[in-house]
Amino acid sequence: MEIIVKTFHQLTTDELYEILKIRCAVFVVEQNCPYQDIDGTDKRALHLFLKDENGDIVSYLRIFEKDENTAQIGRVVTAVRRKGYGTQLLKEAMVQAKQHFGKSRIYLEAQTYALPFYSAQGFVPFGEEFLEDGIPHIRMKFEFQAKA
């Protein structure tokens, strides 16, 4: 398994195609949720994905700047589940959020069913549950600890 980290302009057309394919397969088809996936954020995001031994993308997410102190993680998707791929990628995303963006906090909007997944990595829910495209979500944050 290999974790790849690229900016939008570093992605090959094949990688971009596979990323959009996995996002569509899960978020639009599997979850029966038509929405505008191509939202303009990809161009300013850092893209992380995990490739298996065949070179297929099995997990993906993107990170982008939310504000001067916060990086946001989004479009977290795993095609092959219950293998730890999402956890591997999320841990690397947390490293990249700190190193690449230099932020003190990470924000994400988790589908409510995935709250235990993010909580296991130190994310804390805040605010009220809300619907996005008809799916229950919860806001979550992770604060990097300041070194003493």
pTM of the model: 0.90
pLDDT value at residue 91:
94
pLDDT band of 9, cuts 50, 70, 90: very high
pLDDT value at residue 147:
62
pLDDT band of 146, cuts 50, 70, 90: low
Quote the percentage of the chain above a pLDDT of 90. Answer: 66
Beta-carbon contacts of 51 under 8 Å, excluding residues fewer than 6 positions away, are 1, 2, 4, 57, 58
Mean pLDDT across 117-133: 94
Mean pLDDT across 113-140: 93
Over residues 17-69, the pLDDT tens digits come to 999 999 888 887 777 777 777 888 999 999 999 998 888 899 999 999 999 99
Mean pLDDT across 115-130: 95
> How many CB atoms within 10 Å of residue 73?
28
Mean pLDDT across 116-136: 93
Over residues 63-111, the pLDDT tens digits come to 999 999 999 999 999 987 788 889 999 999 999 999 988 888 999 999 9
- pLDDT exceeds cutoff 60 at 148: no
Single out the residue of 41, 145, 44, 140 nearest to residue 101, CA to CA: 44
| Rounded alpha-carbon distances, angstroms, from residue 137 to 16, 56, 84 | 26, 29, 22
